[in-house]
Amino acid sequence: MSIYLSHARKDSELALQLAKRLKREGLTVLHPATDRAPGENWAKEMGEALDKSDFMVFLLTPGAMEADWVRKDVEFALGSQKYEGRVYSVLMGPTAEAGNDVPWILLKQAHRRVESSKAFGKVAKEIAEQCSAAESSTSNA
C-alpha cells in the first residue's frame, strides 16, 4: 500500500524518520518534498503522489497547520472518497500542545499523540495495521 506523507517543510527531518519506520513495515511512502530532484515541477510531483497513494498520513507538529500545503492536503483528504477511512494523523509535541491547532475532524479519524520521534516505531505499526484493515475492507467490498 502506498502512503502519502503530508507535513510542513519545517518538519522534513521528522518526516524522513517517520518514512523510514513506515518503510520498515513494508509500506511504500510517497514523500514528494524529499523524493524529488532539483528542478522538477513540485506541484506536479505532489499531484502525482496523491494520485498514486492509497492512504494519507499527516505529521502535525505545533504550527504545521500554518503551512498552505498541509491545509490543502487536509482539505483534499477529507473531501475525497478515496481516503475515506484511510487517514491517520501523528500529532507531535508536548501533550498539552499536540493537536491544539488541528481541525476537529482529524481528531475523529485515527490518530496518535506522541512527544517525540521515539514513538515512530509504534506509530508505524499502527499505520500498517490501519492500511491492512483498509485494504481488507476494499477487497471484501
Query: Which cell numbers in the block locate residue 38?
Result: 532539483
- Give burial (CB, 10 Å; 0-12/13-18/19+) of 12: middle
- Cβ–Cβ under 8 Å, residues 55 and 130: yes
Q: Which amino acid is residue 112, in one-letter code?
A: R
Q: Which of the 8 DSSP states describes residue 103?
A: -
* Domains of the chain in sequence order: 2-140 (3.40.50.10140)
3-state DSSP helix/strand/coil % of the chain, to nearest 5: 55, 20, 25
Give the pLDDT confidence of 95-132 residue by residue, as tens digits. Answer: 556 566 788 888 899 999 999 999 999 999 999 999 99
pLDDT in tens, 56-67: 999 999 889 898
Query: Which three cell numbers, joined as nine digits, stand for 78?
Result: 477529507
Mean of per-residue pLDDT scores for the chain: 85
CB of 37 closer than 8 Å to CB of 63 = no
pLDDT tens figures, 27-82 = 999 865 555 555 666 566 777 777 789 999 999 998 898 988 899 999 999 898 99
